[in-house]
Chains A and B, each alone.
Chain A
Amino acid sequence: AQKITQTQPGMFVQEKEAVTLDCTYDTSDPSYGLFWYKQPSSGEMIFLIYQGSYDQQNATEGRYSLNFQKARKSANLVISASQLGDSAMYFCAMREANTGGFKTIFGAGTRLFVKA
């Protein structure tokens, strides 16, 4: 069963505007963590933001924020004030406590294109 779903294969955004990348997940484990990673064309995986299932507030890291809707099992990434360097592949990922804590599964990814 698909545990992480990213329904947007590609997204375009104008420079300096905000963009939301969607992510929904499926788990029966009450303890889990949600992650977003950026993968530029070089291939490296860059950690952006983390949200724990018990965290009361939405996570924020600079221009990145995670819109955590627990009841809807969604964890959308919001990038504010997009920059040309934000053009990359973005992966949503989840880690469940009952799998030993560190096993991480990834969504299919969303390719973001930032237009000048």
Chain B
Amino acid sequence: GAVVSQHPSWVICKSGTSVKIECRSLDFQATTMFWYRQFPKQSLMLMATSNEGSKATYEQGVEKDKFLINHASLTLSTLTVTSAHPEDSSFYICSAPFPDSYEQYFGPGTRLTVT
């Protein structure tokens, strides 16, 4: 089946630094990808919609200058957490809808810890 990968799977960084997370669709093209954040024991919260060739669409309350999204190609979207703080520590998951299908595939997630 279709696969979406994320890299890294986990990362620890110091407060004030920036971290980039990659999301790749491995065997299909995705003009749209989604970024979610999940705090422990909570649900997935949609952060933004990543659009290939255009600006990302952010959900209400999500700081676009803090969470930079770049959809560089039809198979790659990146999320950069800038000037990370401990409250940004979370599980970040991306997803990509499969073309002409109701299905979307999720990446395995990236666990970010900011110290």
A: residues with CB less than 8 A from B are 33, 37, 42-45, 47, 50, 52, 91, 95, 100-109
Are B104 and A102 interface neighbours, CB within 8 A?
yes
Which residues of B lie under 8 Å from residue A33 when comparing CB positions? 102
Q: Are B43 and A107 in contact (CB under 8 A)?
A: yes
- Given A33-B102, A43-B91, A50-B103, verify A106-B108 contact (CB < 8 Å): no
Quick check: A52 and B102 within 8 Å, CB to CB?
yes
Chain B residues 85-99 with CB under 8 Å of chain A are 91, 93, 95, 97
Across the interface, A104 reaches (CB within 8 A) one of B34, B91, B108, namely B34
Considering the chains assembled together, what is the distance between the CA atoms of A37 and B103 in angstroms?
A: 11
Q: Which of B39-67 contact A (CB under 8 A)?
A: 42-46, 49
> Which of B43, B44, B49 is close to A103, meaning CB atoms less than 8 Å apart?
B49
Closest chain B residue, CB of each to CB of A107: B43
Q: From residue A76, how far is it (CB to closest CB) to chain B in Å?
A: 18
Q: Which residue from chain B places its CB closest to the CB of A37 in the assembled complex?
A: B106
Interface residue B7 (Cβ < 8 Å from any Cβ of A): no
Of the candidates A43, A47, A103, the one whose C-beta lies within 8 Å of that of B34 is A103
Q: Is the CB of A43 within 8 A of B111?
A: yes
A44 touches B43 (CB 8 A): no
20 interchain pairs, CB-CB under 8 A: A33-B102, A42-B108, A43-B111, A44-B108, A44-B109, A45-B44, A45-B93, A45-B95, A47-B103, A47-B105, A100-B49, A102-B32, A102-B34, A104-B34, A104-B104, A105-B46, A106-B43, A108-B42, A109-B42, A109-B43
Whether the Cβ atoms of B106 and A45 lie closer than 8 Å is yes
**Chain B residues, CB < 8 A from A101:** 97
- Complex-state Cα separation, A50 to B49, whole angstroms: 22
B34 touches A108 (CB 8 A): no
Which of B43, B91, B106, B109 meets A108, CB within 8 Å? B43
Contact flags B18-50 to A (C-beta < 8 A → 1, else 0):
000000000000001010001000111110010
Please give me the residue from chain B that is nearest to A91 by CB atom.
Answer: B43
For the complex, give the distance between the alpha carbons of A103 and B32 in Å: 10
Q: Which residues of the partner chain A approach B109 to less than 8 Å between Cβ atoms?
A: 43-44
